[in-house]
Structure 1
Amino acid sequence: MKSAVKELYHDFEEIKGRNKRLSVEVFARKVQGLSRDSQGRSNASSYDDVTNMFKGKDSIEFSDYLKFVLKVSSDDEVKKVLTDFFQEVENDNGFIKIDELIKLEEKLGRKIDRDEASSIIKEWDSNAEGKLDLDAYLMYKTNNICK
């Protein structure tokens, strides 16, 4: 596992603590506490921002946490995390095909079928080779980050 991804799993486990499930309310309180400056003012996501992001859910999974991190991270951090996930599934050839894209999206908390994966590849594969390189994947994902 690459370092950025490993750090995210570690951070999620640390936030979750000994609980098997992490409630949205507990997560929102922890995020709000972490986002205060030295004078105690909130300088990032508020409790309401977090609860609204996960409206309708009682608890969050790692994929939900990942979506939150990607939403509040800088472009460089997002690129690093997505690159690490991409490299986990590609077969050392620098490309992903339909099956790898399905696996990758699942790791990111989104289930897609072969038809949808094929559609994504057709739309974002500029060479029409039936596969995505890292740049094409990053372009696709940054344009569809909350899917």
Structure 2
Amino acid sequence: MLKCLVLVSVFAVPAAPAFAGDASLAVRYFYDNLGAESGLENRDRFAGPALEFLNAADAAWNRDETLCLDFGFPVDAQDFDDAEIARTLKLDETVDGDTARVVARFNNFGEPSEVEWTLEQNTAGWQVSDVASTANDWRLSTLSCE
């Protein structure tokens, strides 16, 4: 009887969105699902400048197939070894109130890479507001897409 009660109580707990936990979990989603950053079904994982850029990139593509970003920003590359990235991924999270910085460090084809994610917490949980690479000198919030 106790086993049934425990099982029922597990199903009675409302499921929280996958991105409502720690900021690093919100970032890890994109490394567990490489390529998901461009999916419309994941747009609610973004806010602020990152969301504005992705929406502008979609609009440019729909208008005349202008490609505003020719690489995967989670891996800071056009090509990637997903197994190597998964094996070497380390996330370093710093939270200051409702903002967080998560630095993703990993190897891609034997080369060390680092991508910095800025997130904001709101009623939807942790949402990505910016992504940057110091090695390749880009930041989503400063990219233009017309």
Give me the TM-score of the superposition, normalised by structure 2. 0.25
Larger relative contact order (CA 8 Å, sep ≥ 6): 2
Task: Please identify which structure carries the higher helix content.
Answer: 1
Task: Please identify which structure carries the higher strand content.
Answer: 2
